[in-house]
Amino acid sequence: MARHIAVLANPFAGKGRGRAAAETALQRLRERGAEVRVYAGDTPADTKALAREAIAARPVAIVVVGGDGTLSGILSDLVAAELPVALVPAGTGNDLARALDLPRHDPAAAADLALDGTARRIDVGEIRTPTGVAGFLTIAALGFDAKVSERTNRLRWPHGALRYYLALLIELVRLRPLPFAVAVDGGEVRVRPGTLIAVGNTPSYGGGMPVCAGADATDGMLDLVEVAPIGRLRLLRLFPLLLRGTHLARREVAHRRARTVTVSAPGLVVYADGERLGEDACTISVHPSALTILTPPGALTSGDGDRG
């Protein structure tokens, strides 16, 4: 059997951008003489089943066209298969691509990495909740930011970024600190009220918001960021600092590195890679060097690339 490249596409990623990105990537790979087999799923369940089918055919590499959520949805299969992955970013945030300095606006250049990219091992996060276990690659959000994501998903109007900003305003009005019970690396459980907790494998979420500035997907560690209880106006003032990644120096923000973090709170909602993964309680851990990603030669792996 000839060696081939599998292309797994989510045509609905990025509000439909996935379809055009997949077509461009396929054209580039075929122009370069690659034998390509295409797998396109309409739902997350389809994508997971097709990923297993693609892996079973033993390609030399698998190209995933989609967003962070598309990739995280098939993480367990990719990690088990130990296949190199080329990501063609086509989501709304593309924060993993940002952290690894992958081409985010050029699907053809991203597809090229399947043929001549540099293989790098990156860490994979894991979240255990009462309802199951899921992998993630960027940031687990707990608290205010997760509630904004939850509200955004519930709203049917308006569309685009305006829906996020409306959700932000609604949750600002409803802002209340959560009584987080937190244990780090198996230590003592400490109950401390807070506005949000972010546990990062990479620096940013939401399309470049570096809440875990400095997080490195190759260091075998997670970055834990906690924001103390603050009022609405102080939270609004914190956002410009967060956008620049300079918020970690603020007295209301605590930052440390860890290998496992356990968090629980009444009303807790857990999001990671833009997906809702559970509620009430979770344990977040890291699997070092678990996934092979194909990156440009000399690419950054610490998330210090541009945030645009």
pTM over 0.95: no
Tens of pLDDT, residue by residue over 101-124, are 999 999 999 999 999 999 999 999
Q: Is 78 exposed, middle or buried (0-12, 13-18, 19+ CB in 10 A)?
A: buried
Residue among 244, 222, 229, 233 nearest 288 (CA): 222
CA 111 vs. chain centroid, Å, equals 20
Below-70 pLDDT ranges, the chain: 1-2, 14-15, 160-161, 299-308
Q: Which residue in this structure is represented by tokens 């194909």?
A: 294
Return d(Cα 164, Cα 161) in angstroms, integer.
5
Q: Is 211 exposed, middle or buried (0-12, 13-18, 19+ CB in 10 A)?
A: buried
Return d(Cα 140, Cα 123) in angstroms, integer.
14
Cβ distance 129 to 270 under 8 Å?
A: yes
| Distances in whole angstroms, Cα of residue 66 to Cα of each of 47, 60, 63, 85, 137 | 11, 20, 10, 12, 14
Tens of pLDDT, residue by residue over 168-178, are 889 888 889 99
Q: What is 63-111 written as a DSSP string?
A: EEEE-HHHHHTTHHHHHHHT--EEEEE-SSS-HHHHHTT--SS-HHHHH
Return d(Cα 74, Cα 152) in angstroms, integer.
24
Are β-strands 196-200 and 222-227 bridged in parallel, bridged antiparallel, or unpaired? antiparallel
CA 7 vs. chain centroid, Å, equals 20
